[in-house]
């Protein structure tokens, strides 16, 4: 596998030139005093160094060795403990944490870039760090001051890791079916009893404690999801001085043998009367958990395209070096037996598709992170409300569309290597395996599509869609006199119109047929994703066009944008036809005919 190189120029382009991060941060009450471009640039530079030099070299060996399970204990692969210690000592675990509890307080727009580099270096390593950040986010938003003071500083310092405990053997997407119990204790704590599965990092030897956020039900809880509460359950007891003590009746029963992310332990966790504390309100556990889920689902999307970035870097290096056949227009390297495979149109098609979707994903993840920052740090109620609505709309697209295209890109990178892509030593097959899970966990991509179309579009009569459509329409109007934008605005407007047509069709059809939403959901999300990426690429063109004549980097942006608009965005036409075919053919098949 080629050495990972953090794409800092691309990252800075999106963050600084496309989305003007410094201008945004200076306008928000919660960031104007904590971050400036000099600070952000230094953080990016160091993140690029530590991910490339410290973490990326672990990826191959970590995948080969995997985690070890013995008598309830999980041991991470060789080198991970030392690397994690160095990483934590650098303060990276608390980058976006609340400064009131010793976090650094950096905005998500910056955190998203750091997460990309972390996941590109090694998905498994990144999971330990990012899930801890997610758990800390929920604690910071909903826990009592006492719990925050006791647990957040240690989590931000990396001394303790965190885990989310949602899924049970019989309850995955339908969390209302969970059976884990929470019995009140006389001291205000609760006794938590139950089994959770698929718990990433639920047990590990990176730190001396793991802080679990566990969904459970009180004895008198209402049925279904309305009766779920959230509890903080440390693996080991912690005294009033922050000293870690004996086990808290929290044990690992086994770890899963998985297709990928093998250096990340995926655990079965048993809680046998473990002492826990309520986070948030009784029976409002899902609402508390979803505070972190918007961030976590964006993080999973970043995880996907970060692996795709690594695949792209590998594939480009290989395509420039591997010589096979001759260019269709004649020999390029006449002194050699063949030309590099990058001369072949089909190889270029795959590389450009990878580049277009990966760079589109980077822009889109930054776009969503921008709204997360506004919703968190703004003191303008109207601005905050708008940002929260856009986060709600965009989160399922960020999770599902980015990861779907990421797997496509990792497979394309593998394909460019030919037979070598199927061999372990080149690293491409690991990226395919590691990326596959991103389409499944944190809510499968089919569930994300249903969430987008059912909850975010149909349930409110398309009002959230209008927020997006209006923003794009305003952009098109503002750039209508910009000659450099002329080739892109028409196709973008047409794509938004098709998406509006699809939205109206489903809104009307679903009034008479309850299956219409489910039948159209996957195609609708893809159509929305493509249109959104069209908007992202138009914004990138705006930033790049003035410099393209004199700088090859910006010229490359324009060439990639032209490819996206000519070869990829037109897919919205066929997606609209699929949506309009309705649910009849899909639902007509009798169960016995499958």
User: Any bridge partners for residue 272, and if so which?
Assistant: 193
Run of H or E including 212: strand 210-216
- Give the tokens for residue 443: 């809510």
The Cα-based distances of 520 to 392, 556, 557 in angstroms read 19, 35, 33
Other CB atoms within 10 Å distance of the CB of residue 253: 15
388 annotated active-site: no
Other CB atoms within 10 Å distance of the CB of residue 219: 8
The Cα-based distances of 495 to 480, 538, 593 in angstroms read 16, 12, 37
How many CA atoms within 13 Å lie on the side-chain side of 291?
Answer: 21
Rounded Cα distance, 188 and 318, in Å: 60
Rounded Cα distance, 357 and 34, in Å: 32
Catalytic position from the list 442, 479, 516, 523: 442
Rounded Cα distance, 318 and 522, in Å: 34
Residue listed under structure tokens 């972390």: 118
Can you give the C-alpha Rg of the chain in angstroms?
24
Contacts with 511 (C-beta within 8 Å, 6 or more apart), sequence order: none
Nearest to 194 by CA among 212, 207, 173: 212
Question: Which residues have a catalytic role annotated?
Answer: 442
């Amino acid at each position: 596998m080629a050495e990972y190189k953090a794409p800092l120029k691309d990252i800075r382009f999106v963050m600084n030139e496309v989305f003007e991060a410094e201008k945004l941060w200076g306008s928000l009450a919660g960031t104007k005093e904590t971050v400036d471009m000099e600070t952000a640039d230094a953080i990016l530079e160091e993140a690029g160094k530590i991910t490339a030099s410290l973490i990326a070299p672990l990826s191959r060996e970590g995948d080969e060795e995997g985690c070890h399970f013995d008598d309830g204990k999980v041991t991470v692969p060789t080198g991970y403990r030392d690397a994690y210690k160095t990483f934590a000592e650098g303060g990276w675990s608390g980058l976006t944490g609340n400064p009131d509890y010793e976090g650094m307080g950096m905005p998500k727009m910056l955190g998203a870039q750091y997460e990309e580099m972390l996941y590109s270096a090694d998905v498994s390593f990144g999971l330990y760090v990012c899930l801890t950040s997610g758990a800390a986010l929920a604690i910071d938003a909903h826990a009592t001051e006492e719990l925050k003071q006791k647990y957040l500083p240690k989590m931000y310092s990396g001394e303790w890791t965190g885990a989310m405990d949602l899924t049970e053997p019989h309850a995955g997407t339908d969390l209302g079916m969970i059976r884990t119990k929470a019995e009140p204790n006389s001291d205000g704590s609760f006794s938590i009893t139950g089994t959770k599965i698929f718990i990433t990092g639920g047990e590990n030897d990176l730190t001396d404690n793991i802080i679990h956020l566990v969904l459970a039900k009180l004895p008198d809880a209402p049925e279904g999801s309305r009766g779920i509460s959230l509890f903080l359950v440390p693996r080991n007891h912690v005294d009033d001085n922050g000293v870690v003590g004996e086990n808290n009746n929290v044990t690992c029963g086994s770890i899963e043998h998985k297709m990928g992310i093998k250096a990340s332990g995926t655990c079965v966790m048993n809680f046998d009367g473990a002492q826990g504390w309520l986070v948030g309100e009784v029976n409002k556990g899902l609402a508390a958990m979803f505070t972190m889920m918007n961030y976590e689902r964006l993080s999973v999307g970043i995880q996907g395209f970060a692996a795709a970035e690594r695949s792209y870097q590998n594939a480009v290096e290989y395509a420039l070096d591997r010589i096979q056949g001759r260019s269709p227009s004649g020999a390029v390297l006449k002194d050699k037996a063949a030309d590099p495979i990058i001369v072949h149109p089909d190889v270029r098609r795959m590389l450009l598709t990878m580049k277009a979707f990966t760079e589109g994903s980077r822009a889109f993840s930054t776009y969503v992170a921008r709204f997360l920052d506004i919703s968190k740090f703004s003191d303008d109620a109207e601005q905050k409300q708008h940002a929260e609505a856009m986060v709600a709309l965009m989160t399922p697209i960020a999770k599902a569309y980015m990861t779907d295209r990421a797997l496509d890109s990792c497979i394309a990178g593998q394909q460019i290597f030919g037979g070598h892509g199927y061999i372990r030593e080149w690293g491409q097959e690991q990226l395919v395996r590691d990326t596959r899970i991103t389409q499944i966990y944190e809510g499968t991509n089919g569930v994300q599509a249903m969430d987008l179309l059912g909850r975010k579009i149909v349930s409110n009569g398309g009002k959230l869609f209008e927020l997006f459509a209006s923003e794009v329409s305003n952009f098109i109007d503002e750039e209508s006199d910009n000659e450099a934008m002329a080739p892109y605005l028409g196709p973008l407007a047409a794509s938004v119109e098709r998406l509006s047509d699809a939205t109206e069709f489903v809104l009307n059809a679903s009034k008479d047929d309850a299956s219409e939403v489910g039948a159209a959901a996957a195609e609708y999300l893809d159509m929305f994703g493509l249109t959104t990426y069209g908007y992202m690429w138009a914004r990138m063109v705006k930033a790049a066009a003035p410099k393209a004549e004199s700088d090859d980097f910006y010229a490359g942006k324009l060439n990639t944008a032209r490819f996206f608009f000519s070869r990829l965005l037109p897919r919205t036409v066929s997606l609209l036809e699929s949506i309009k075919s309705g649910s009849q053919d899909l639902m007509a098949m009798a169960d016995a005919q499958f």
